[in-house]
Structure 1
Amino acid sequence: MIGIPLSALEVAMVQSGTRAVDTLRDTATFARELERLGYHRIWYAEHHHSPAIGAFPPVVLTAHAAASTAVIRLGSGGVLAPNHAPITVAEQFGTLAALHEARIDLGIGRGPGTFDEATARALRRGAGPTTDSEYEADVAAILALLVDEVALGPLPEPWLLASSPAGASLAARLGLPVAVAHHIRPDNTSAVLEHYRSAFTPSRWCERPRVLLCVETVCAESADEAERLRGPMNVVKAGLLKGVGDLPFPTPAEAAAHCFEAGELRVLEDFRARQAVGTPDTVVRGLAHLADETGADELMLTTPVYDARDRVRSYELIRQYLGTWPISA
């Protein structure tokens, strides 16, 4: 059984034929449902200029969800430091922490959040990609400003997102808990964990190495239904393999009719084997194996399926399978 907390990463997938307001309504419902089910935290990812994912700022989604929930932790997974002035990030999340004490997380990442070069440059007001030293300086500035700007009030809990050994090393040097993007680059997970744990330096933020592992998870009553639900994301991933990052998120029926190349199928199947897809028994066993294999302190599930009801149902089936065990311990 899984002996660590379970959480969720919400990426606000946009269903074709719907409006932004529909997706936003679904995210609020999702937060309330996961709180009811006893999940530990929900994070919102930052994306821009994507037909498949809403361009909704994590700080806004966090505020919206916090206003309609009571106990579940909420935050960014992550806010992308190169796109924002450090003082703005500190002020925004410091304010949220003051309004919702002991419930706000600040997950910080590096990527631009878009595959469109013009959008990436616009986010940085014309500047090019950030360097390693610039990113480290931004993260350090955010942490310092959190303390300076909100010294007398509650602070958000900072995390650093990492999908490479370089990100893990930075988290270790700064003494931050690390959120490992196993759902994006599972081949890097072992190296990320090794770099992080071997170089970790305690800080005011974290006394010991602390690992959250994000896993793509699709759970359904049958294995066939789980495969059907993951079909749309397979189409998006196949596009990414070809360097196409602006594909819309198809319906399951459209995905079922998609013709994949043999090489794409091999890559997709290899990726699937490292995640958790299938019936509740299969998914929970897979998550438990990942927890044991990596020594993670927490698992964060991301479920990129087309219909919001199916997304909630996936989390519900896992909860029902686990019974009364307190997954938000």
Structure 2
Amino acid sequence: MIDVPLSALEVAMVQAGARAADTLRDTTEFARRLDGLGYLRLWYAEHHHSPAIGAFPPVVLTAHAAASTSSIRLGSGGVLAPNHAPIMLAEQFGTLTALHPERIDLGIGRGPATFDEPTARALRRGAGPATDDEYRDDVAQTLRFLVDEVALGPLPEPWLLSSSTAGAALAAELGLPIAFAHHIRPDNTLAALDHYREHFSPSRWCARPRVLICVETVCAETQEEAARLAGPMDVVKAGLLKGRGDIPFPTPEEAAAHSFTPEEARALTGFRAQQAHGSPEIVDKRLTELVDVTGADELMLVTPIYALADRLRSYELVRQHVMLPAAPQLP
């Protein structure tokens, strides 16, 4: 078992053939149940123009979940700075914090959140990808506007999302806690965290290096059931390996019938080996090893499972078997 807090990342996977309203209903129920299980925080990711992931703004989901829960921390994981005016991010998350003090996080990232170039350009009002300097300025301005706009009121807790050493370097420079996307770029994790800790500069936001690791976690009573539940996301990932973001999120039965190329199968096997899939005992072992190797202060679990009941069961099993003290049973 591990002694660091557990949190969750919600990517709002849209079941093939489902309506947006169905996915939003599930995200609301998911937040309520995670709150009851005692998870520390729940973040919402920004995505656009994907049949598999809902294009639901993190700030809207955060506001709705905050009104529907009582204690879990909520926020973005993250909003993508190049897609938003810094002053608007400061105003939005500052307002949320005024409404829900000590419960709001502002996780900021860089990517376009889409594989569709016209969509990426539309988000940027026709501009191309942000340069390193533009991204740094966007993050720094957002932090300044947070202080200026919110004045002496409560502030959201800012985090910088990263999947590379470059992102880790910016988090260290600005003195921000880092949320590292081990679920996206596991091969970059250790080098990036070493750079972050070595070059960290204390700030008003963070006095010492603070590391959150996001890891894909699929937990079920048996290894075989976990593999079945992970199947739909494997199909989506196989499309992403080819640069395709237009693959719908299939059912487990459809995923079981999908044929992967040998290259795709090898890539998926290698990825799973660095995440936490399996029975409670296996997931406990892998999460414990990840904390030991990275020195993480917190783990954030992302669990892209098709059915809400199965997804909630995964989080319940992890809460019962991985983190002390044991959580109450789901009703």
Moved more, 13-22 or 210-219: 13-22
Q: Is the 8 A contact 2:3 2:323 kept in 1?
A: no
Alpha-carbon distance between aligned partners in 2 of 1:128 and 1:93, rounded to the nearest angstrom: 26
Q: Which runs of 4+ in 1 moved over 6 A?
A: none
CA deviation string 1:247-270 (max 9, x = no partner): 111111111011011111111111
SS of structure 2 residue aligned to 1:155: coil
Residue pairs, 1:30-179, within 5 angstroms? 30-179=30-179
Please list every run of 5 or more consecutive structure 2 residues that lacks an aligned counterpart in the other structure: none
Please list every run of 5 or more consecutive structure 1 residues that lacks an aligned counterpart in the other structure: none
SS of structure 1 residue aligned to 2:129: coil
Q: Residue in 1 aligned with 2:232?
A: 232
Q: CA deviation at 1:320?
A: 2.0
Q: Is the 8 A contact 2:2 2:324 kept in 1?
A: no
Alpha-carbon distance between aligned partners in 1 of 2:123 and 2:18, rounded to the nearest angstrom: 26
CA deviation string 1:246-302 (max 9, x = no partner): 111111111101101111111111100000000111111110110011000000000
TM-score scaled to structure 2, two decimals? 0.97
Query: Is 1:210 equivalent to 2:223 in the alignment?
Result: no
Q: Residue in 1 aligned with 2:10?
A: 10
Backbone CA RMSD of aligned residues? 1.0
Structure 1 counterpart of 2:128, one-letter code: G
Q: Residue in 1 aligned with 2:190?
A: 190
TM-score scaled to structure 1, two decimals? 0.98
CA deviation string 1:10-64 (max 9, x = no partner): 0000011211111111001001101111100000000000000000000000000
Q: Residue in 1 aligned with 2:223?
A: 223
Q: CA deviation at 1:324?
A: 5.1
Q: Residue in 1 aligned with 2:20?
A: 20
Q: Residue in 2 aligned with 1:257?
A: 257
Q: Is the 8 A contact 1:38 1:326 kept in 2?
A: no
Structure 1 counterpart of 2:101, one-letter code: E
Alpha-carbon distance between aligned partners in 1 of 2:316 and 2:164, rounded to the nearest angstrom: 32
Q: Is the 8 A contact 1:16 1:251 kept in 2?
A: yes
Q: CA deviation at 1:326?
A: 6.8
Alpha-carbon distance between aligned partners in 2 of 1:323 and 1:81, rounded to the nearest angstrom: 33
Structure 2 counterpart of 1:285, one-letter code: K
Q: CA deviation at 1:177?
A: 0.1
Structure 1 counterpart of 2:216, one-letter code: E
Q: CA deviation at 1:318?
A: 1.1
Moved more, 311-320 or 56-65: 311-320
Query: Is 1:296 equivalent to 2:265 in the alignment?
Result: no
Alpha-carbon distance between aligned partners in 2 of 1:40 and 1:183, rounded to the nearest angstrom: 19
SS of structure 2 residue aligned to 1:204: coil
SS of structure 1 residue aligned to 2:168: helix
